[in-house]
Structure formats: structure tokens, C-alpha cells
Structure 1
Amino acid sequence: MARLTAIADYETELRTLSEGSVNVHLDPFADIDWDSAEMVIDPKDPRWILPASDPLAGTDWYRNLPQDRQIEVGLWRWANVAKVGLQFEAILIRGMMQWVMTLPNQSAEFRYSLHEVTEECNHIQMFQELVNRMDQPAPGMSPVMRAASPAISFLAAYFPMIFFIGILAGEEPIDHVQKSAIRSDANLPPVLKRIFQIHIAEEARHISYAHKFLTENLKSAGRVRRLALGLALPIAMRWLADVIMSTPPEFRRTFDVPRKALRQAFWKSPQSQQLMRDFFPDVRQLGDELGLRNNRTLWLWRLLKIDGPTSRYRSEPNEYRRSPAVA
């Protein structure tokens, strides 16, 4: 009876998410007035200077650039972040469609997954429209990742648990960066701020779905499978955070960026390592709740430098977070 109740509760949660997608959904061409004066992209606008939440902003190289060059770098960087975002959404859509075609009739997962795919298609249109209007030659992910992405999507039908872990690993860093920029009252260009608002609102449902899916499907997992997933969780987080947040080779060549600056920005300095840790308090909390972060797997979180405190509730701001109790 308890198991039947749990299944019913899970299906009720999925129906609630589906109803949310029906009742509150946003369209990139109806909810963004792209042609209004406020939304015009000015390549000399100082609001394109990177906020403190971006790893590049803390480098000596970026801080010492003249303002016009900081704006140039910021415009290219934001365009590339958007391009990476839409490429990740495309991987998610392809993988989700591979997986849902294996589901039985009457599956509540089928319906909500298709709602999510619909929303992700809108996000791709939104991000690509931004990239087009920014008129920057941003390629997005690295050439290797772009080439490998179809194979990654194909595996979703066979390894759905790993796939949903990967969804979280891609969505959490983007969500964190966007929320940090909004919360810090950074003087963002209006078009960027509006896109963040739309994306944050809908990604909340997608992240919630990934949490619920992992929680439900782990109930039947045996000890060996749990250990494997417990090890996969931090590896996926660290790997995909780097894929999502790092810059492609074209960035270094375009702006003649010193390798030292890239190392400082992307996870070799204490400041950038802390930024990496700050991406994942919600995932660490989920790992604790699911028993995937335990004495047999915590060493890997520390080795990958993504250990740290957990959040008390979804998206708890860093400044509100309690430090771990000292024994």
C-alpha cells in the first residue's frame, strides 16, 4: 500500500507540473518586445561589462582591460553563454525524445516530458534570437562537445538515470549564474534581464522534475547501482559545469587571452573554485536526501572541489546559507 501511495503521489506531482506548464507558459516572441527601444542591443553599452558572478570578471586580465574592451569581451561572452545554453537544450530535447518513446501508455512522465520539451524549444528560439541580434560569432560549446552531443542524447533511452543527472548538471550552473546576476542587482541590459526572468521561471519546473524523477526511480535501486549513481553524480556535475561555463578556443584567439587568465577564471584560483562550489548546494542537498552523498562517495566531491554546504531550500542565496557545523 505504501508503494502504491508513493506512485500516486509521484504521478500527482507530475500532473501538477503539467498543469503549471499549461497555465503559465511564456513565448519568446510574445513575451519579449524585441523591437522596442529598450531592447535594442547597443555594442557600446557599459551594461555588457561582466558581473562579478562570471568567472572571467574576477581575473586580473579582465579587470585591467579598458572599458570599451571589457564591453566587447562581455558582449561576446554573453552571446556564447546563450549559444551554449541553446546547444545544451538541444541535447536535452533529443535525449528526452529518445527516452519518452520507450515509455508505456498512460505514463504521467510522458506528458510532462513533452511539456518540458516544448518549453525548451521556446528557450532555444529565445537564445538564438538573442545571439542573432548580438551579432557575435560565438560558437558555443567546444568542437569536441558539439561533435559528441548526438551520441550523448542517444544514450538517454538506455541510461535515463544518468541522463537526468546530466540534466541537473547542465541546468544548475546556468540557473545559478542567472539568479546571481538578478539578485545582485547587476546593471544588466534589459533584454538580458528579461530572458533570465523567463528562463528562471520555467527552469524551476524542469529542475523540480529532475529531482522528483531521481527520487522516485532510486527507490528500486540496489546497493551496487546506488554506488554507481553516487559516483556519477559529482563527476557529471563537475564535467558539465566546465562544459557550460568555460570558453571555447575561439574566445582565446579573438581576444588574445593569456592562458594564465583562463586558468585563473576556470577553476585554478580560489575565487573561481568557490564559484564552482556555489553552483551545487541544491544538488548536494539532493544527494544527501537520496543517500548518494555518503561515506563512500564524499571523497569524490572533495577531489573534484565541488564539496561544500547544502541549501536549506531550493535556490537559497549564498549569503543566507549556513556554514557546516564544526564537530
Structure 2
Amino acid sequence: MGVRPVDRETGWRPAMTMFSPPVRAVSPSDPEAVADRLLDASSRRSYDSAVDIDWDAPQDPDVFYLPVEFVSLYGTPMWESMTHRQRVELSRQEVANLLSRGVWFENTLNQGLLRTMLYQDPSAREVHYALTEIGDETRHMIMFGRGAAAVGAQPYRLSTLEARVVQWMPVAYRGVMLWVAALCGEEILDDLQRKAAHDPAIQPIVAQMFRIHTAEEARHIRYAREGVLRRLERSSRWERFVVGQTNGIAGFVLRRIMYNEEVYRRTGLDPKEAMRQARANEQVNALRREAFQSLYRFMTDNGLMGSIAQRMWRHYGFLE
């Protein structure tokens, strides 16, 4: 099967199907109508990385794999001491780390959705969309794994402790927590990837992966937000309190995803000093705080941002 041609001006490969006119808005209290809309969008705008990405395209060794201002050490004293090729290599390793971590997050989300379906009507359109999303996420896992190989980096594996923790994460994905966990894992990284996808200065193969991912994640974020609103209509005060106070744990998880000593070790840097400078890097931290703002407003507006959670998000660098 051949690769779809690239638009010479935008660098974007066309979708598998044509766009249709916008569908009218529906209430989050009508899950079947929401699911119908999302299923329709999925049928019109879904991608297959096997044909929508030119995996064999050459990569310029002098071109960054992330926008330069997104690289964790950008602007630090260590950055100033690095050669151009070292900086490019750091961006390559950080992309490989992001893709590798994305695989396990999609894995846990799929498990959470599947567990929820055990108690749902298999003929419901809401369940059909959940299965469609699982299909999207499975394709993303393949794309991320193939992407790490394509950029020429070894994938980053979870440690034994991390793997054990991750195995238990889907058990906690119940009720409102399932949808909040999905949003925490998707919205912040989606915002950063959306900005990176349109940067003409990064490697085209990475930009294409980000375009595909953000196009499909837009549906998943809508689905998760609707899930939060729908579940809140019948959730107990205790459930809202627990979710509102504990969602800050996601800040810890996201920081673990974004900073990895092994990334710096593979780049030939002092990992501990690099980690120290990266975490203190105000230029990059400001970008991540900006990426969190939309989710923060949504959570606050719906009574899901408790004082403990706010302190955790602030401690891990996502709030001022």
C-alpha cells in the first residue's frame, strides 16, 4: 500500500475520508447523541500511520525533533555548552522518551475503558464509541512504537517499580476518575504536540505523528469532558471530593514522563546535573503551565480542583 501524497504547501497528508459539514451541538446529558456525533467524526477523520506517514523519508541530522524551545534544557547553562548536534540528539531522545511513555499511558486508558464496558449495554452507541476510541489508541501505540524506531532511538522501558504501579492504575479508573485521568494524560501533552505539529523547523516525520495524534485526540478529549460532566450529574459528594483532591497525582506522573535521567545519559550529559537544570528551567516550565490552563479551568469550573490537588500541580510545576 502506497503513502498518500503530501500537500506541498502545508506538508499535511489528506485524511482517509472527506470532511462533512459540522453537526449541531448536543447535550452532555444525552450520551447516545454525543456518541453518534463522535462516531460520525471518527468515520470522516481517522488515519492509518502505515500509509499516512512516510516512514522511510530521510532525516536531516541537523534538524531538531522538537521545537527548540520545547527541549528541556533550552536556555540553561548546560544548553549553552552543548554543540548543535548534541542539542539535536537531546531533542531526538526526548521524542523517543515521549513516544515510549505514550504507549503505556494509552495501554492503561484502554484497560480502564474495557473495565467500564463490563457494566454497560453492548448495544449502546456510547459503548461503540468507546470501542472506536480503543481502536484509535491502539493505532497510536503502534505509531508511537514505530516512531521511536524510525527516529533511530532505543525505546525507553518502564522500570520494574514503574511497571508494577502502572499495572494498578486502571484499577483506580472508576467513575469520574476514569475521565479525569484521561484528560490529565491527554490535554496537556495534546496542547504541546499541537503547537509542535505546525513548527516547520522540526523533522517532518515527527510533525506528521503529532498531527495525526492531535487530530484524533480532539475527539477523545471531547468524549472525556462529556464523560466528566455526565458522571458528575450522578456522582456522590464523596466521589467528587476524592477526585478533586487526588488528581494532582497526575502532575507527578506527567513530570516523570517529561524528565528522564536516561535521556540525558544517552545524550552524553551528566544526568543528575541535567535533571536539576531542566526542572529549574523557567522557559520550558512556562510552556507547560500554559498547556495546563485549559484543563485547570475546566476542572475548577466543575468543582474538581481541590486545595490538595492545586498544591500538587503547583509543586510539580504546572501552576504558578
Secondary structure of the residue that 1:104 maps to in structure 2? Answer: coil
Is the contact between residue 54 and residue 177 of structure 1 (CA under 8 Å) also seen in structure 2? no
Is the contact between residue 92 and residue 167 of structure 1 (CA under 8 Å) also seen in structure 2? yes
| Superposition pairs of residues 212-227 of structure 1, within 5 angstroms | 212-227=226-241
Is the contact between residue 174 and residue 244 of structure 1 (CA under 8 Å) also seen in structure 2? no
Identity of aligned residues (%): 26
For residue 54 of structure 1, the aligned residue among 71, 81, 95 is: 71
Tell me whether 1:173 sits opposite 2:188 in the alignment.
yes
Q: Matched residues in 1 for 2:244 and 2:27: separation?
A: 23
For residue 54 of structure 2, the aligned residue among 24, 30, 33 is: 33
In structure 2, relative to structure 1, the CA distance for the partners of 1:32 and 1:281 (3 Å cut) is: same
Tell me the equivalent position of 1:263: 276
| Superposition pairs of residues 167-316 of structure 1, within 5 angstroms | 167-183=182-198, 185-236=199-250, 238-247=251-260, 249-254=261-266, 255-266=268-279, 268-293=280-305, 298=310, 301-302=313-314, 305-307=317-319
For residue 125 of structure 1, the aligned residue among 129, 142, 167 is: 142
Q: Matched residues in 2 for 1:147 and 1:299: separation?
A: 26
Q: What is the TM-score of this pair, normalised by structure 1?
A: 0.80
In structure 2, relative to structure 1, the CA distance for the partners of 1:34 and 1:280 (3 Å cut) is: same
In structure 2, relative to structure 1, the CA distance for the partners of 1:49 and 1:155 (3 Å cut) is: closer
Q: Matched residues in 2 for 1:135 and 1:296: separation?
A: 41
- Unaligned 5+ residue runs, structure 1? 309-327
Tell me whether 1:70 sits opposite 2:87 in the alignment.
yes
In structure 2, relative to structure 1, the CA distance for the partners of 1:59 and 1:173 (3 Å cut) is: farther
Q: Matched residues in 1 for 2:65 and 2:307: separation?
A: 44
Tell me whether 1:163 sits opposite 2:178 in the alignment.
yes
For residue 83 of structure 1, the aligned residue among 100, 122, 132 is: 100
Partner amino acid, structure 2, of 1:24: R
In structure 2, relative to structure 1, the CA distance for the partners of 1:137 and 1:122 (3 Å cut) is: same
Tell me the equivalent position of 1:323: none
Q: What is the TM-score of this pair, normalised by structure 2?
A: 0.82
- Provide Cα deviations, 1:206-242, integer angstroms capped at 9, x if missing partner: 1111111011101122323222121123332x12321
- Provide Cα deviations, 1:278-297, integer angstroms capped at 9, x if missing partner: 23111112112212236786
Partner amino acid, structure 1, of 2:87: Q
Q: Matched residues in 2 for 1:144 and 1:273: separation?
A: 27
Tell me the equivalent position of 1:148: 165
Structure number with higher helix proportion: 1
The alpha-carbon deviation at position 8 of structure 1 amounts to: 5.5
For residue 130 of structure 2, the aligned residue among 93, 113, 118 is: 113
Is the contact between residue 48 and residue 188 of structure 1 (CA under 8 Å) also seen in structure 2? yes
Secondary structure of the residue that 2:233 maps to in structure 1? Answer: coil
The alpha-carbon deviation at position 201 of structure 1 amounts to: 0.2
The alpha-carbon deviation at position 129 of structure 1 amounts to: 1.4
- Provide Cα deviations, 1:2-41, integer angstroms capped at 9, x if missing partner: xxx9675332112101111122210011212323xxx223
Aligned-CA RMSD value: 2.6
Is the contact between residue 248 and residue 310 of structure 2 (CA under 8 Å) also seen in structure 1? no
In structure 2, relative to structure 1, the CA distance for the partners of 1:173 and 1:141 (3 Å cut) is: farther
- Unaligned 5+ residue runs, structure 2? 1-25
Partner amino acid, structure 1, of 2:149: N
In structure 2, relative to structure 1, the CA distance for the partners of 1:7 and 1:198 (3 Å cut) is: closer
In structure 2, relative to structure 1, the CA distance for the partners of 1:260 and 1:12 (3 Å cut) is: same
Secondary structure of the residue that 1:48 maps to in structure 2? Answer: coil
Is the contact between residue 227 and residue 292 of structure 1 (CA under 8 Å) also seen in structure 2? yes
Q: Matched residues in 2 for 1:69 and 1:148: separation?
A: 33
- Provide Cα deviations, 1:252-307, integer angstroms capped at 9, x if missing partner: 433232423312212x3433442332231111121122122367865555455533
Q: Matched residues in 1 for 2:91 and 2:310: separation?
A: 36
In structure 2, relative to structure 1, the CA distance for the partners of 1:46 and 1:30 (3 Å cut) is: closer
Partner amino acid, structure 1, of 2:38: L
Q: Structure 1 segments of 4 or more deviating over 4 A?
A: 5-8, 140-143, 294-305
